[in-house]
Structure 1
Amino acid sequence: MPITLTLALYCFAWFFLVRSLRQRQSRPPVAVPLLLAGALIGHAYSAYSLLVTPNGYDFSLFRIAPLFFWVANLLVLASSIRKPLYNMFALLLPLTALSLLSALFLADSSQSLIQLSAGVFAHIVLSIFAYSTLTIATMHALILAYQNKQLHNRHATGFVRLLPPLQTMETLLFELLWTGQLLLSAAIISGALFVEDMLAQHLVHKSVFSALAWLTYSVLLWGRHQMGWRGFVAVRWTLSGFGFLILAYFGSKLVLEIILG
């Protein structure tokens, strides 16, 4: 099965990556990007098969999560070509495996299928790209917070020594935030243009929390530009914005499909 093969490739990549981290290597072995590239191909096929059927699209919680993590893995791998981001896979790959296992064993094939217009489909794709990019930014912020704390406590050993300089890490964080904010803005605009009846489609909850996330990230980016926000201040605002995104998407899915379903 493609999902089983994808999981195996991710597990091998994670094993080699963790081993290289324990050995304090500056870069992972060549096998890691090759395994990840192969896993992403199988992952793409698996995500497509879960979502697209001859009778429509299935965007239930457990079926859309693998696509979400596919985008996240793809962006991290692409960014790793010019920036040292491979360490993020140590956190990202277990979550990816969990999403695939959930799709394999918990996805309900009896979920109602939907037909989508081109505009709504574009809105969904933009949302997935935005959420994935901001997920990567959040993971990066957590690593940055740990690095900052260790450096302040003069404990720059082990994992921290493998990270780029703190200034480079902060620059990368805000590059990710700017990219995610632009994608989130496009997703919100496309939703306003193409979604006809938010009340009938139970989208008010999602729209409100998405707007709160957009506002939070906007304040953070303004604070960075105007007041030089950095360090733990930037991390706290990043986590706050991501919390609203979690409530916007996964919270609404949880309420509609599990609690009320």
Structure 2
Amino acid sequence: MKDKIVLITGANSGIGKETATKLATKGASLVLACRDIQKANEAREEIIANTGNTRIETMSLDLASFTSIRTFATEFNKRYESLDVLINNAGLMKGSRFETEDGLELTMGVNHFGTFLLTMLLLDRLKESAPSRIITVSSNAHEYGTIDFDDLQSTKNFEGRAYANSKLANILFTYELARKLQSTGVTANCLHPGMVQSSFYDHPESIEEKERYDLLRPNMISVEEGALTSIYLASSPVLEGVTGKYFDKCKEASSSALSYDIQTAKRLWETSLRVVSLDLTS
């Protein structure tokens, strides 16, 4: 990984920070893309202190804002001439329905549409840097997800399902992206990190949600364990050329039957292009 440029979203805490730390140890040059730039800078200083690697930069990125994503991508592409690994790590889970500034349901807006737009805006740089890798953190929660094209924003049926739906969208996107990137030298894979004990569960929005998290905590794994598959996908030479796969515990695994539906993936791709206002013909 020495001197490879790695961009990690949501790298100021949890498995994102742990992934960054381990890749810094391997000699990678890191860009920590985070919504809270102060926390990103604090993470940077901590990683430098722990690894001795000073080739770590921070940049502001809010995946709940298409304006922020476009501004970030423009600045990144100006600042960096290459991108070897993109790790789409940032994500959120909400027990209640909120909206982004663009009017999207927040969970799907950040976890899928924001990730989709960011990846698309960095594709040219990734292609120029080939062989390069795109890694998206999904979840086994995708097994409970559906893609209702009549209600992608969960206006009719939220009930906490938006997270599972967004994680299914991550996998459908990854598989379709891998198909579209054949012969470019850019690979796209996704993963389930495990149920990780991290800040993800620190702010329940209701007593019921807190009780549910408290029941889950004894079965949660450490942040260090949760980051292992992301680190493996980013750095292992064994995976050179491997694309369009889903991984769990550093091994290729099967995702849900719906995640392999090519027509659903194609429709989600076209829908996503419209939602984020991308015209690939121009």
Normalization by structure 1: what TM-score? 0.27
**Which one has a larger percent strand, Structure 1 or Structure 2?**
2
Pick the structure with greater CA Rg. 1
**Which one has a larger percent helix, Structure 1 or Structure 2?**
1
Normalization by structure 2: what TM-score? 0.26
